[in-house]
Amino acid sequence: MINFNNTLIRSSSVGYLMTEPQSKADKEAGLLSKTAQKHLIEVYIAEKYGRVKDIQTKQMKKGVEAEDDSIDLLNRYWFVGYAKNEHRFTNDYISGHPDIITVNPNKVIDIKSSYDLWTFLGNIPDKLDNLYYWQLQSYMWLTGATSGHIAYCLVNTPFGIIEQEKRYLLNKMNVVSEESPEYVKESMKLEFNMTFDDIDISERILIFNVDRNEDDILRIQHKVEKAREFLSELEKTHINFNK
């Protein structure tokens, strides 16, 4: 049996725990939502069996590969020289790795590299994604920061991803070769849609501000405690399922 009392929840996943159950009865009973339970099954598998589901979309790949370019874009926009934080923080409940930490004022910044112009501008009509809100609250709890920002950045797609998309396009079009005029035209259009140097920097950054909320930080603590109870019960049920 594993002792889940020391299990730490990643800041990027805290938002899953904070979702509320759909039924009023489950909510009043203080139960975890189905979304939270689904995520905790992944935590259980990782803790007990050392297996982690490897999911990487092209959007996620760009997010990783373009992070430095996005930080550079933010620096040029704000005329600052922020560097990427290399330190992971932990407390008794959560762990997290903020992209940027500043002093005077003490704040955290998380970078989101949008895949294209459509996904980037799609953030304007919406309020900040709940997952990102709770991620920032977690970062502020871990670092002592009093405020935070989510910075959506629109930077050029890395060369390797563009070339991969061109190969997909070539196969999909089923043309004779890369020199086929119809492929050349579509390939140029694809590359144009994945690079953004022609757009002013001020139009390629969207910043959402989040202030530290002590009540919400206490809610995170409470949900992690609930999550640990769920993991312990899940293991008991799993081990005794066929008895």
Query: What domains can be seen in the chain, in order of their start residue?
Result: 4-157+195-239 (3.90.320.10), 159-193 (no CATH)
Distance CA 65, CA 91 (A): 28
Q: What is the pLDDT of residue 30?
A: 83
Q: What is the pLDDT of residue 160?
A: 93
- CA 24 → CA 21, 33, 122, 130, 229, distances in Å? 7, 11, 32, 20, 21
Model pTM score: 0.92
Q: Give pLDDT < 50 ranges for the chain.
A: none
Q: What is the pLDDT of residue 104?
A: 83
Q: What is the pLDDT of residue 243?
A: 87
Q: What is the pLDDT of residue 41?
A: 97
Asked if residues 146 and 55 have their Cβ atoms less than 8 Å apart, the reply is no
Helix (H) or strand (E) holding 14: helix 14-18
Q: What is the pLDDT of residue 12?
A: 96
Q: What is the pLDDT of residue 56?
A: 84
Q: What is the pLDDT of residue 90?
A: 98
130 Cβ contact partners less than 8 Å away, ≥ 6 residues apart: 15, 18, 19
Q: What is the pLDDT of residue 172?
A: 87
Asked if residues 201 and 76 have their Cβ atoms less than 8 Å apart, the reply is yes
Q: What are the strands of the beta sheet with 94-96, ordered from one edge?
A: 9-10, 94-96, 89-90
Q: Give 163-198 pLDDT, tens digit per residue.
A: 999 998 988 887 878 888 889 999 999 999 999 999
Q: What is the pLDDT of residue 55?
A: 81
